[in-house]
Chain A
C-alpha cells in the first residue's frame, strides 16, 4: 500500500528540501502532486498580498514615540530596577514602625500604683534596670524586615513626617492593608 506524504513532508517539499522518498513518491502519486501544487498556489497568492507601507516620514515619528514611552518606563524604574521589586518596602516600613511602637510601649516601665511619677523622695530618678522582655517573635520579625532596608527608609518609617504614613498606606494593596490591620489589632489587644 502506498503511503502518501505526511504534513511535514509536504512542507519540506514546498521548501524544496524533501528527502529522496518524497521525490520518488511525488513522481508516481498524482494525488500528492495535486495537493502540493495547490499548496504552492496558496503560498504564491499569499506572497502577493502586500502590507500597506507607511509614509517614510512615519519612521522618525515612530522612533520618537518609542523613545518617549521607554523614557516613561525608565522614570518608573529607579536605578534600572523595576519599582515592583520595591513595592513591599512601604508595607515593611509601616510594619517596622508599628513593631517599634509596640515594643517601645511594652518596654516602658509601669508606674507604681499611687505613685505620681518615677522620682523617688531623694530626687534621683528610679534607674532600676528594666528586665529584658522575652522575644515573642516581634523583634525577630522587625530585624528581619529591616535587614534589607536602606537606612533612609527605616528612619523615614520610624520618624515619619506629616502625611508619610498616609502615603505609605496608600501604596499598600488591599491584602497588605488587611494584614497590617490584623497585626495592629493583635498587638494593641495585648497592651
Chain B
C-alpha cells in the first residue's frame, strides 16, 4: 500500500483483531441482512403454517389432542421457533449495526492517515506534531464488541431454551396434562421458566443494541473530533506561514 509508512503501530489484543476486522464491514452488513432474510423465510414457511395448523380446529379439539398428534406437534413447533427466531433476528440487526460502526471506524482511520500524508508535505520545522490516537477509538470498538457479544449470548440462550425446556413443556396434551399440572410438579416448574424468560431476555437484547448504538455514537465523535482537529492544525499552519514568527 502506498501509504503504508504512515500507518500507526499495531495495537495490542483484542484491538488488533478488531482493527483487522474493520475493513470487512460490508461482509458483516451482508451477513446481518442474510440472517434477517432467513428469519423472514422461517416465518413464512415454518411459523405461519404451524399457527395455521394449530388454529385449524375449535379450542376444545386442539386442547384435547394427545401427544404425537398434529395439533401438539404444531404447538411445539410454533413455540420452539418463537423462542429462538426473534433472538436470531436481533443478532442479524446487531451484525448490521456492528458493520456500520466498523465502517465509521474505517473512515476515522483513513481521515487520520490522510492527515498524516498532508502533514508529511509540510517542512519538518513547521510540521505540527501527530496527535495520539484518541482513547475513544478503543471505547467504540469495545462497545460494539460488547453489544454483539450480548446479542450472541441472547441467541445462544434462545437456542438452549428452544432445544430444551420449551419443547419439553409444550409436547404435552393441553387439557389432559398441562392444565391439570399441580404446584410442585415438573410441568408447572417448567411453565414458570417458559412464561418468564421473555420478560428478562427481551430487555437484555435491547441492552445489546444500546451498546451497539453507543459504539456508533462514539465512532462519530471520533470522526467529528478528527475533522475539527485537522482543520484547526491546518488553520494554525496557515496562520504561521502567512505571519512567520519573528
Answer yes or no: are A and B bound together in one complex: no
> What is A's interface to B at a CB cutoff of 8 Å?
none
> What is B's interface to A at a CB cutoff of 8 Å?
none
